[in-house]
Structure 1
Amino acid sequence: MKKLLILGALIFSGFTFAQAVKPVLEQEGNLVKATYYYNNGQIQQQGYFKDGKLEGKWVAYDQQGNKASMGEYTNGQKTGKWFFWNDKALSEVDYSNSRIASVKAWKQDALVNRN
């Protein structure tokens, strides 16, 4: 019963992340791996849930398959360093207690391959 409740919560919370395609959920030990897709079949984002909360590494991609963001959750809260890519810059955001502690940014000409 507990697993059904967790799965229901994951599906419900998935609606906030997914565009139109249902997520693929896979049990991996005590974690549930969630993969969300764009309508074009590319992965939109991928990460884990534990007890219905975001947990561990999450990676988001743009519709062409390039990394758009990457970071970690602990017990549903953003923690540590997160990276955000766009066409013009890379931003490094350091989170503490799910709040932004610091931000660094680099212009496109200083970026390395993000794949």
Structure 2
Amino acid sequence: MKNITLTLALLFSVVLFAQEQKIEPIFEKQDNMVKATYFHGNGEVAQTGFYLDGKLQGEWVSYDKDGKKTAIANYDQGKKAGKWFFWSDGKLSEVDYTDNRIANVTTWSSESQLVKNK
């Protein structure tokens, strides 16, 4: 019985240790905006961007758990605006927003051929 209890306690402690910890975001005042930095459980930056009057503003950049950039987004007073870029599986997608709605989507892959102007 002691062996079972000891084994369960050891297994439980390994599971607790293996779980990623929650890291609190950092908020820094910069002029009239607040810069926000959010983190993955492993400590890598998950997302950075700005708030203005409590709304998303300007460029926001997202990263995966390995620190690779996955998205660049733009906001204007909390609304999606301008060009957004998404990187995934060797593809780059450009999404154009107008009035908080998708206006156009263009996707490139690593197999796409580039035209070179000589």
Task: State if a TM-score over 0.5 links the two structures.
Answer: yes
Paired position in structure 1 for 2:6: none
Bigger mean CA offset, 27-36 vs 81-90 = 81-90
**TM-score normalised per structure 1:** 0.76
Extract structure 1 runs of 4+ deviating beyond 6 A: none
Which residues of 2 match residues 18-57 of structure 1 at below 5 A?
20-57=22-59
Instruction: Report the TM-score, using the length of structure 2 for normalisation.
Output: 0.74
Q: What is the DSSP-based 3-state SS (H/G/I as helix, E as strand, rest coil) of the residue aligned with 2:111?
A: helix
1:21 Cα offset (Å)? 2.3
Amino acid at match of 1:46: T
- Name the CA distance, whole Å, in 2 between partners of 1:57 and 1:105: 20
- Following the alignment from structure 2 to structure 1, what is the Cα–Cα distance between the partners of residues 34 and 88? 29
Once superposed, what is the RMSD of the aligned Cα atoms? 1.7
Unaligned runs of 5+ in 2: 1-20
Letter in 2 for 1:40: N
Amino acid across the alignment from 2:96: D
Counting aligned pairs with the same residue, the percent is 49
Q: Say which one has the larger Rg.
A: 2
Letter in 2 for 1:83: F
Separation in structure 1 between the aligned mates of residue 110 and residue 100 of structure 2, nearest angstrom: 27
SS of equivalent to 2:104: strand
* Corresponding residue number in structure 2 for 1:98: 100
- CA–CA separation in structure 2 for the residues paired with 1:44 and 1:58: 11
Per-residue CA deviations over 1:10-53 (Å, capped at 9, x if unaligned) read: xxxxxxxxx93221000000000000000111100000000000
Unaligned runs of 5+ in 1: 1-18
- How many residues are aligned here? 93
Equivalent positions of 1:1-115 (< 5 A) are 20-110=22-112
Offset of residue 85 of structure 1: 0.4
Aligned amino acid, residue 34 of structure 2 = V
